[in-house]
Chain A
Amino acid sequence: AQTVTQSQPEMSVQEAETVTLSCTYDTSESDYYLFWYKQPPSRQMILVIRQEAYKQQNATENRFSVNFQKAAKSFSLKISDSQLGDAAMYFCAYRRGNTGKLIFGQGTTLQVKP
């Protein structure tokens, strides 16, 4: 069975600095997708970034980028120039193919200090 692990329950970063959130996963599949979701205090689940396993290039969305290490089964999220609005819980998630169910990690709470 596939699993997703986020080993950092809480992280903090100074405003304007860079922070990296870690995620590892376990799978024997070759076709899968990886995601980072943000959950602010409003509780809404917001897709931050996604990565297709077959793509070697790391995904980037503005200040958010990933370090996808397929052999190591690692998928970390880097937030550059952190802003107060980045404070939230972040979930790493795995999906097998286009129809597999989304499997989540435990979440990491990010605090941004002014």
Chain B
Amino acid sequence: DAGITQSPRHKVTETGTPVTLRCHQTENHRYMYWYRQDPGHGLRLIHYSYGVKDTDKGEVSDGYSVSRSKTEDFLLTLESATSSQTSVYFCAISETGTYYGYTFGSGTRLTVV
């Protein structure tokens, strides 16, 4: 979807290094989310934001932090990457009052070696 972009699309990193994934939206939506997708688990929520500088934890937040200094950008940081964080990461956006679910980015495949 053109209204939401994720970068990078692929990344390989070493264990113990910090990694930052970026999500950028042009829709001016209030809510932004980070999910990870793993086989057998579907998509699980890591962190979400309900406004600038307003964030909260999801069900699998350990080892991750987020920041949202502008409406359009939501950053996900792996403070010290581990092999268990090898996954596909999705960003999503939504707005209050819409029942169309979320709009998703194209995902980032992260491999931690």
* Distance to closest chain A CB from B108 (angstroms): 10
**How many residues does chain A have at the interface if contact means C-beta atoms less than 8 Å apart?**
25
A/B pair count, beta carbons within 8 Å? 55
Contact assessment for A102 and B102 in the assembled complex, using a CB-CB cutoff below 8 Å: yes
B92 at the interface (CB under 8 A from A): yes
A interface residue numbers (CB < 8 A to B): 4, 6, 9, 33, 35, 37, 42-45, 47, 50, 52, 91, 93, 95, 98-99, 101-107
Contact assessment for B43 and A44 in the assembled complex, using a CB-CB cutoff below 8 Å: no
CB < 8 Å neighbour of B101 from A4, A43, A93: A93
* Distance to closest chain B CB from A38 (angstroms): 11
Contact assessment for A43 and B107 in the assembled complex, using a CB-CB cutoff below 8 Å: yes
Report how far A52 CA is from B101 CA in the complex, Å.
Answer: 11
B96 at the interface (CB under 8 A from A): yes
Contact assessment for B106 and A98 in the assembled complex, using a CB-CB cutoff below 8 Å: no
Report how far A35 CA is from B31 CA in the complex, Å.
Answer: 18
User: A37 contacts which chain B residues (CB < 8 A)?
Assistant: 101
Contact assessment for A104 and B104 in the assembled complex, using a CB-CB cutoff below 8 Å: no
Across the two chains, which residue of chain B brings its CB closest to A37? Answer: B101
Given A47-B100, A47-B101, A101-B48: A106 in contact with B41 (beta carbons within 8 A): yes
User: A102 contacts which chain B residues (CB < 8 A)?
Assistant: 33, 43, 45, 92, 101-102
Contact assessment for B42 and A52 in the assembled complex, using a CB-CB cutoff below 8 Å: no
Report how far A42 CA is from B45 CA in the complex, Å.
Answer: 21
